[in-house]
Amino acid sequence: MFHSNMRIDGNALWADLMDTARFGGTPKGGIRRLTLTPEDKQVREWFASTCESLGCTITVDTMGNMFARRPGLDNSLPPITMGSHLDTQPTGGKFDGILGVLGGLAVLRALQEAGHTTRHPIELINWTNEEGSRFTPPMMCSGVFAGIFTEQEVLDKRDRAGARFGDELVSIGYRGEEICGDHPIAAYFELHIEQGPILEVKDRVIGAVSGVQGMRWYEVTVKGKDAHAGSTPMPMRHDALLATSRMVVALSEIALGHAPGAVGTVGLIENRPNSNNVVPGETFFTVDIRHPDDTVVATMEREFMDRFHSIAEAGGVTLEIVSIWDAPAVHFDTRCVEMVADSARQMGYDPLSIVSGPGHDAAYLARVAPTAMIFVPCRDGLSHNEEESITESEAEAGANVLLGAVLRADSTL
């Protein structure tokens, strides 16, 4: 049976969050810790040494995913696992991803301090390249673990500067020997900030996440013709940036047409040659569309492609759209979701059933193991931003619910 009175040390969890913020810390109080950079190596080494100090052993697989294992009474059983990621966006905050790792660390610390040995081994996982900000798409290495991507295709990915993923993984010393995916899991729980406003608006501390909405990513190239800005008449221009601006507006209109569940985003644009007196001859940009219903995502895709092609034709430019990521909607294991909800209620919280807007490693883990997530609020729903903020009590609440869910899984699975 689980120990109903066991609690995590909220002060120690908060101290860990503030301490790890120095790895890639920015002047504005955020974090720039891109995957497979020196800053990523630093936080990985902190993570490994801290877990080892709590009696864990560390293994690393061929994609750099890290597993901190605390033995159980029956080590032939597959582990109950927790995890998230340590990498950030270029202008990331202190809590996205790392809260799930350090919340799991707080669980390990609570078990150690209580002298409690679980039936299953307990493992804490750091997944490589969840963000997808340096190497696209996101969640690549949990994706390899779950069989979504092949190891080789991810190793061969390159960032915008041309650096190869596999080479960068070796350069920081984290290409391990265990074959990615060759690692049994009994259940997986991921604690995360909501990255949206719903919990805060509804005045709830805990979200019991039932699943993740469907999402698709695209890379778009628009080609017109470079021309002198002073001597090329407006009717004779083939302005790639002008056409692109109309496509950005069209995407927003399409998402609004499928509100409230739909979102559409252009998050990256490159304008070429990017000179103040040259009509832009080429642009490159990304498209991100999401909705909890996969049929709506498919409809949005058809609509934006039709609109984009019409805009390109009217503007005298050519268009190339490449689909780079398709993540269907995910429904988490009902037993694990209920373990989260039960744990929250035992702690005195009224859990809100919620669907995740962002993608998470848990979305891929759900394909190979019973999985659930725990959300806590973030101020104004702000994330992927240096001003991202939560309270110490919210972090502590989420980690305690994680502890309760893990102990329930250990006693019932």
Rounded to the nearest 10°, the torsion over CA 40, 43, 44, 49 is 160
pLDDT score of 4: 63
Residues 347, 400: Cα–Cα separation, whole Å: 8
pLDDT band for position 359 (50/70/90)?
confident
Least reliable range by pLDDT among 4-8, 117-121, 175-179, 370-374? 4-8
The stretch 306-313 carries a mean pLDDT of 98
- What is the assigned CATH class of domain 10-213+329-412? alpha beta
Same fold, 10-213+329-412 and 214-327: no
Domain boundaries, the chain: 10-213+329-412, 214-327
Give the side-chain half-sphere CA count within 13 A for 191: 33
Task: Please write the tens of the pLDDT for every residue from 331-354.
Answer: 999 999 999 999 999 999 999 999
Angle at 195 between CA 344 and CA 372, to 5 degrees: 40
Q: Can you point out the beta strands (E) in 262-394?
A: 263-265, 269-272, 278-279, 282-291, 318-327, 330-331, 352-356, 371-376
DSSP run (H or E) holding 189: strand 187-193
Query: Is the CB of residue 311 less than 8 Å from the CB of residue 250?
Result: yes
Task: Please write the tens of the pLDDT for every residue from 94-152.
Answer: 999 999 999 999 999 999 999 999 999 999 999 999 999 999 999 999 999 999 999 99
Q: Which CATH architecture does the domain made up of 214-327 adopt? A: 2-Layer Sandwich (3.30)
The stretch 16-21 carries a mean pLDDT of 98
CA distance to 59, 133, 228, per residue, from 281 (Å): 49, 26, 11
Per-residue pLDDT at 2 exceeds 80: no
Query: Is the CB of residue 70 less than 8 Å from the CB of residue 123?
Result: yes
Task: Please write the tens of the pLDDT for every residue from 240-284.
Answer: 999 999 999 999 999 999 988 899 999 999 999 999 999 999 999
Percentage of the chain lying above the pLDDT 70 cut: 99
* DSSP one-letter code for 4: T
Which pTM does this prediction carry?
A: 0.85
Known binding-site residue numbers for Zn(2+): 85, 96, 131, 192, 384
pLDDT score of 3: 57
DSSP codes of every residue in 269-307: EEEES--TTEE--EEEEEEEEEESSHHHHHHHHHHHHHH
Known binding-site residue numbers: 85, 96, 131, 192, 384
pLDDT score of 5: 82
Residues 218, 87: Cα–Cα separation, whole Å: 22
